[in-house]
Amino acid sequence: MRLPGLGIAAALIIAALIPVAVMSAPKAPEGISEAARKVGMAEAPAIAQAAGITCNITDARFVGKSADPKTKISTSYYEVDCDQGLGFVLSAATGAKPTAFTCIEANTPQPDGKPASLPCKLPGNADPKADLAPLLAKAGVTCTPEATRGIGQSAKATFLEIACQGGTGYVMQAGAPANPDSATLASDCLLYDNSDGNIKCTLHDKAYRLAVMDPYIAAANNGCVAKDKRYIGMSQGGSTYYEAACNDGKGYIYRVDKGVLASATVCEKAAMLLGGCELTNAKEAETAQAGLYTKLSQKAGFDCKVAKYALFPSPAGKDVVELSCSNRPDGGVGIFGGPNDKSVVVDCAHAPIAGYRCSFTPDTVSNGLLTADLKKQGKDTCQVSKSRLVGKSVKGTTFIEVACSDGLKGYVIEYSPEPIATVGVVSCAFTKDCKLPGNT
């Protein structure tokens, strides 16, 4: 934003407006005449209200007046200090609605690097960044500003850049004018570093902002010395995600909740986290991890050459992973512990008994395994077409309802938990627990 410059004519107009009565008034702050303040307090409140400013004005000064040499339209300029929030510079052209710029915008150097043409000078506006507190609170961010600048305005919004102590920076979008009660949004500057838009953060560089990750990398205590860093984004739940590539070839995705490290996921297990890793060769790491799961599966007695995998939320010290196998149609859920823990793989037909549901293995494959369970119980005529987890009994067994492809009534199969094995079968003709089509 570039505010109009004022020439000698404006200074002469100010001098002409000095009333004799002001000569006996208390001395004005250095550089601001009492006449300017007198005129400002008399005229600026109404102009500020017309511009849409909602604060109570506690101080004001008349800056000057200029006239367009072509249109002869006269424009007056004022600075106002508010009881809450930011101060403003007002521009009031004859016959037009006044406009308002925050003191942050007014103090921002011009695009060519020259000082601002119409900076704020009132004592209450001496440190505009200190007046941001209401807007920051409205936006819901914690920030102690160390530097600010104006980005620009649209018809309905004011855009400001705020650099906070500690490295975080924000692009703040407030109303136009930026009243303390206006709808306010603060977006992390890291969002704009790789964007093609015209809004950028320039008070610090990207590397400076990414240093905010350093405490989280240290808190993870996984030996990572970061050689590259990336801001990933924020989830709908409000968690912030970062990625680091480490000197040892590994990489991690860090989840941060309310400024505290919540988790650090190694890249080979992070494929499902906001698109996975980009700074680390995740494919190579995933291939190595698939090989490890292949060995663990075989050790657990489940012959699976792992083609792909997906992690479930796991208890501490364990990996719970869905496995898709290249050497067999049915996959499973591996529950892998430490060196001294027993690892097991539950096929996808019976995974619901352990509390998991597969997405890689088709239901048609799982249905075949349930058909085999029925045959073990002497029910040879039912080819399972659909299944449903019913629930658990008080003694800890689990019930699965199955429907038959011939349309006749199906069954409820009872399973023991460890090891998973069929305990008994009840026809849906003799129980009210069946709900699948054809079984009721």
Copy the structure tokens of residue 375: 């045959």
Q: Determine the residue type at 234.
A: M
More confident residue, 273 or 50: 50
Q: Where are the beta strands (DSSP E) in 32-132?
A: 57-67, 74-82, 88-93, 99-102
Domain map (residue ranges) of the chain: 1-126, 127-204, 213-279, 284-354, 364-430
Residue 200 has pLDDT above 70, yes or no: yes
Measured CA to CA in angstroms, residue 368 lies from 13, 179, 385 at distances of 94, 66, 9
Answer whether residue 8 shows pLDDT above 80: no
pLDDT digits (tens, 9 = 90+) for 214-256: 999 999 999 999 999 999 988 888 889 999 999 988 899 999 9
Nearest to 328 by CA among 357, 312, 342, 349: 349
The average confidence (pLDDT) of the chain is 87
Report the pLDDT value the prediction gives residue 372, as an integer from 0 to 100: 95
Lowest model confidence (mean pLDDT) among 80-84, 268-272, 424-428? 268-272
Q: Is the pLDDT of residue 389 over 90?
A: yes
Beta-carbon count within 10 A of 203 CB: 17
The phi, psi pair for 374, rounded to 5°, reads -65, -40
- CA 3/CA 119 separation, integer angstroms: 9
The two tokens of residue 165 are 């102590």
Query: Is pLDDT of 266 > 60?
Result: yes
Which of the two residues, 160 and 17, has the higher pLDDT score?
Answer: 160
Q: What is the mean pLDDT of residues 32-60?
A: 95
| 305, pLDDT greater than 90 | yes
